[in-house]
Amino acid sequence: MSGSNRLAGLKARPKGTTVEEVRRVDEVGEARGFLDRTPRKKPGRKPSPRTYQLHPKVLPEVGEAIASEAEALGITQGQLIERMWSAYRG
Amino acid sequence: MPVIVMASPKGGVGKSTCAVLLASEFARMGADVTVLDCDPNKSLTRWASHGAPSGVTLKGDVGRSEIVPTIRSADGDGKIVIVDLEGVASQLVSRAISQADLVIVPMQPTALDAEIGSEALALVREEEEALGRSIRHAVVLTKTSAAVKSRVQKELEAQLSGAGIDVIEPSLVARAAFSELFAYGGDLTAMMNDPEMVTGGKVDKALANAQAFTEAVYERLK
């Protein structure tokens, strides 16, 4: 078997791709147990990306300074804030 | 050009192997083949990551929502679309079948494979009725013995023929080269010509089997 001329004779038949036809196919499939098995996403709001913004009222440069100081000390920002709170209270 | 869909709700029957063999053989014949990997196990993506043969383009991560428009956009003059589906009963499978020019249901010659594979055959017939058009479909027996035809295989072939189901001849024999394609990528011709590729079986026999199988599929697409 060789040569693309043989393949040129192959034809595709027209197929339905309308919403109605897909719905009919889904119905037929579901009746036979062919269900929608798309993995469900976790419910709820997605976690916000890290913006280094500790609080909406903290200015971005302050947030960045706290983040870099925490990184330099090898602790989390929360631990640094705890220390700051302790110094403030003390 | 035609859309060929590999369908069976059972896993491990040889859907991906059939898809790889057909894709590489049709590409060798000069077709522009697009393979859609709809299997979460990504067997075909793994195969292509080692190097897909010239003429084969792979599209991965095609889900239920994308299957119909993806097949439609991949279809065109001089192109053959081969869809490898997941081994579960899902809407993705039923939607892909609706877009097929030929549905191939691979099954090993076992009672379990036949029972579960028959679900796909029944679905094709129900879709034909719902859509008011015929969808050509055929069974190919896979992982058969090269030496002897087992009693179960003979019985299964007789049952399928008796039920009016098209059975593709030849069956796909259990060949080490078929499974090793997924480790090396490429096609059987490259495997046979590359001394670096070490296989545990006879690549020439595997290639002859794949070519005869592709010829039988070609006859059903005319």
Tokens of B176: 């080490």
Tell me if A25 and B130 make a contact (CB, 8 A cut-off): yes
Would an 8 Å CB–CB cutoff place B1 in contact with chain A?
Answer: yes
Domain range for A80: 60-89
**DSSP letter for each residue of chain B:** --EEEE--SSTTSSHHHHHHHHHHHHHHTT-EEEEEE--TT-HHHHHHHTTPPTTEEEEE---TTTHHHHHHHH--TTEEEEEEPPSS-BHHHHHHHHT-SEEEEEE-SSHHHHHHHHHHHHHHHHHHHHHTS--EEEEEEEEE-SS---HHHHHHHHHHHHTT--B-SSPEE--HHHHHHHHH-S-HHHHHH-TT---SS-HHHHHHHHHHHHHHHHHHH-
pTM of the full predicted structure? Answer: 0.83
Nearest residue to B43 (alpha-carbon basis) of B198, B178, B195, B191: B178
**pLDDT of amino acid B93:** 97
The residue among A28, A35, A41 with the most chain B CBs within 10 A of its CB, best to mutate, is A28
Rounded Cα gap, residues B112 and B117, in angstroms: 8
Nearest residue to B117 (alpha-carbon basis) of B3, B216, B5, B7: B7
Tell me if A33 and B89 make a contact (CB, 8 A cut-off): yes
State the nearest Cα–Cα gap between A40 and chain B, in angstroms.
13
Give the ipTM. Answer: 0.87
Question: What are the sequence ranges of the domains in chain B?
Answer: 3-221
B84-105 pLDDT, tens digit per residue, is 999 999 999 999 999 999 999 9
Place of tokens 């063999």: B21
**pLDDT of amino acid B216:** 97
Domain membership flag for residue A51:
no
Rounded Cα gap, residues B151 and A38, in angstroms: 39
Domain membership flag for residue A52:
no
Domain membership flag for residue A45:
no
Domain membership flag for residue A1:
no
Rounded Cα gap, residues B70 and B76, in angstroms: 12
Query: Low-confidence residues of chain B, pLDDT below 70?
Result: none
Tell me if B68 and A29 make a contact (CB, 8 A cut-off): no
Domain membership flag for residue A76:
yes
Rounded Cα gap, residues B83 and A30, in angstroms: 21
Q: How many domains does chain A have?
A: 1
Domain B3-221, classified CATH 3.20.10.10, yes or no: no
Per-residue pLDDT of chain A (90 residues; tens, 9 = 90+): 445 568 877 877 788 789 999 999 999 999 999 999 988 888 887 766 555 556 667 788 888 898 899 999 998 888 898 999 999 998
Place of tokens 């302050």: A62
